[in-house]
Amino acid sequence: MTDLVQQLANELAVRPNQVEAAIRLIDEGASVPFIARYRKEVTQGLDDTQLRQLDTRLAYLRDLYERREKVIQSLTEQDKLSDDLLARVNAAETKNALEEIYAPYRPKRTSKSFKAKEAGLGPIAEKIIAEQVDPTEALAGFSHEDYPDVESQLDAIQHILIDDWAQNIALTTELKQIFAKTAVLKSAVASDEKKEVGKKFRDYFEFSENLNKVPSHRLLAMLRGRQENVLGLKVDGEDEAPLARIEVEYNLEQIQPQTRQDYLKQTAKLFWLGKVRPQIEHSLLTDKRLAAEAEAMDVFAENLRHLLLSAPAGGRTTLGVDPGIRTGVKLAVVNDAGDVLAHSTIYPFAPKEDKEGSIAELARLCREFHVELIAIGNGTASRETEAVVAEMMAANTDLQLTRVTVSEAGASVYSASELAAQELPDLDVSIRGAVSIARRLQDPLAELVKIDPKSIGVGQYQHDVNQTGLAKTLDAVVEDCVNAVGV
């Protein structure tokens, strides 16, 4: 627990006793807004941003610490826990990194090296590594039904050596760093028939870029292409430097006799190409994907925060305008308390093209209900609709009107929701959208909290990131915004 508190204190640049107090309150079930507002004296002034970070990291680090204990326990039982390995396990900062360290030690009952050791090839493998002996001669006198000939026996010994080398975490960590320097992300179209269905991914049909430099949005686009079976992704890089490093580690150049050297060099090649490199490729792509998802979630959160905390226009009679071409432009007049006074539909565009009638109807509603503000949704045909409204305002200069373009994100989701049906039972679904647009100009936060944050759609690749994480992040933003306003 003390390690956890200290780590959180360092990350947030606050004192450990503040962290301890906050953890106690969170464990008792207090929410972040509650602690930020009403328990300032207990946490000695931690604000909602710090508490939110603490809450998120606390859950993650607890999982990490718990898993770390289990890994250490397993390594102790296997009698594999050296000081170096313990230090590496304790230094792993992410769950991903921890699992990579543990992977070679995870007990496997069915692995080829396990079976080879069971058959009694373990001591011969050690002999080939330790003594100047021809590998074939080292096998003299060995026989086992599963390994009938020398070729299969040598093959099995390679599996033992490869598994032993994989447990050299210092080496595999270094190999990952070496490979990462030249790593390139390549994407290609999966097959010719996918070219037509996957047209939107055509930029990535033949694409490669240095993995470190791939921006998050591009990586998420390629991952979506892979998800839809349009693209194949591969992390590529150079093999010479890692292979040379393995040869230095096990001093393979100095080994005698030549047959033993050739055998061990071939083993090193198999170790790198068959065992380590695939794991490193996967690991680098996973690290990059997690970073891209985290960045995308931050963008969502920031966009949502701006939308929720847009300045309210206040309680003034407002005309909500939900633009549409074929189905017409929906209008709804809402009074200062947000109640619907009137609604109608106009058809200024093709096929009906009733521009004059539309302008007359707009003017009638504004005059009759003393409208002060006109809120125009920013969806399809928003510009054209705004031009019609501007024409009406120019023709009726005596009306004191202000027109504002409003984000209509999530309005259609709201209009079909149960809550909208309860609030506006007598209105058609299409008119409810116009009501929501008017109300979100009057008070954005009060209107937008009615919608599931994910449905407000304020970022790219929303469906590609971790959905639980996204929901948590966005719910936290809504909580914090409501708290900031002090509702």
Strands of 224-355 (E only): list them.
231-236, 318-322, 329-334, 340-346
- Domain 318-442 matching CATH 3.30.420.140: the answer reads yes
User: Please, which pLDDT band fits residue 433 given cuts at 50, 70 and 90?
Assistant: very high
Asked whether 323 and 384 are in contact (CB, 8 A), the reply is yes
CA triple 7-12-15, angle to 5 deg? 75
Q: How many beta carbons lie within 10 A of that of residue 144, not counting itself? A: 14
**How do residues 334-377 score in pLDDT, each as one tens digit?**
999 999 999 999 999 988 899 999 999 999 999 999 999 999 99
Burial state string for 152-167 with b = 16 or more CB within 10 A and e = fewer than 16? ebbebbbbbbbbbbbe
CA end-to-end span of the chain = 35
**How do residues 418-431 score in pLDDT, each as one tens digit?**
999 999 999 999 99
Determine the Cα–Cα distance for residues 302 and 474; give it in Å rounded to an integer: 9
- The pLDDT assigned to 174 comes to 96
Asked whether 68 and 98 are in contact (CB, 8 A), the reply is yes
Q: Answer whether residue 232 shows pLDDT above 80.
A: yes
| Lowest-confidence pick of 191-195, 279-283, 453-457 | 453-457
Determine the Cα–Cα distance for residues 289 and 278; give it in Å rounded to an integer: 16
Q: Does this chain's domain 112-290 share its CATH topology with 318-442?
A: no
- The pLDDT assigned to 2 comes to 84
- The pLDDT assigned to 457 comes to 65
Q: Exposed, middle or buried by CB within 10 Å (0-12, 13-18, 19+), for 383?
A: exposed
Average pLDDT value for residue range 459-477: 86
Domain boundaries, the chain: 2-105, 112-290, 318-442
What is the DSSP secondary-structure string of 405-462?
A: EE--TTHHHHHTSHHHHHHSTTS-HHHHHHHHHHHHHH-HHHHHTTS-GGGG--SSST
Q: Answer whether residue 459 shows pLDDT above 80.
A: no
* Of 267, 287, 269, the residue nearest 97 (C-alpha): 287
What is the DSSP secondary-structure string of 115-139?
A: HHHHTT-HHHHHHHHHS---HHHHT
Determine the Cα–Cα distance for residues 385 and 274; give it in Å rounded to an integer: 62
Q: How many beta carbons lie within 10 A of that of residue 351, not counting itself? A: 7
- The pLDDT assigned to 464 comes to 86
Indicate the class that CATH gives domain 112-290. mainly alpha
Rg of the chain in Å (alpha carbons): 32
Q: How many beta carbons lie within 10 A of that of residue 339, not counting itself? A: 11
Determine the Cα–Cα distance for residues 272 and 282; give it in Å rounded to an integer: 14
- The pLDDT assigned to 434 comes to 96
pLDDT over 70 for what percent of the chain? 99
* Of 443, 485, 445, 449, the residue nearest 316 (C-alpha): 443
Phi then psi for residue 322, to 5 deg, are: -105, 100
Question: Is beta strand 184-189 parallel, antiparallel or unpaired with respect to 231-236?
Answer: antiparallel
User: Please, which pLDDT band fits residue 1 given cuts at 50, 70 and 90?
Assistant: confident
* Fold category of 2-105 in CATH: Arc Repressor Mutant, subunit A (1.10.10)
Q: Answer whether residue 39 shows pLDDT above 80.
A: yes
* Of 281, 270, 282, the residue nearest 246 (C-alpha): 270
Asked whether 455 and 410 are in contact (CB, 8 A), the reply is yes
Q: Answer whether residue 325 shows pLDDT above 80.
A: yes
CA 149 to chain centre: 51
CA-CA-CA-CA torsion sign (234, 236, 242, 243): positive
Average pLDDT value for residue range 94-112: 90
**How do residues 50-72 score in pLDDT, each as one tens digit?**
999 999 999 999 999 999 999 99
Q: Answer whether residue 487 shows pLDDT above 70.
A: no
User: Please, which pLDDT band fits residue 251 given cuts at 50, 70 and 90?
Assistant: very high
Determine the Cα–Cα distance for residues 291 and 296; give it in Å rounded to an integer: 9
- Average pLDDT, whole number, for the chain? 93
Q: 312: which DSSP letter?
A: P
User: Please, which pLDDT band fits residue 108 given cuts at 50, 70 and 90?
Assistant: confident
- CA distance readout (Å), 401 to 318, 367, 372, 375, 396: 10, 10, 5, 11, 10
Q: What is the pTM of this model?
A: 0.83
Determine the Cα–Cα distance for residues 80 and 106; give it in Å rounded to an integer: 11
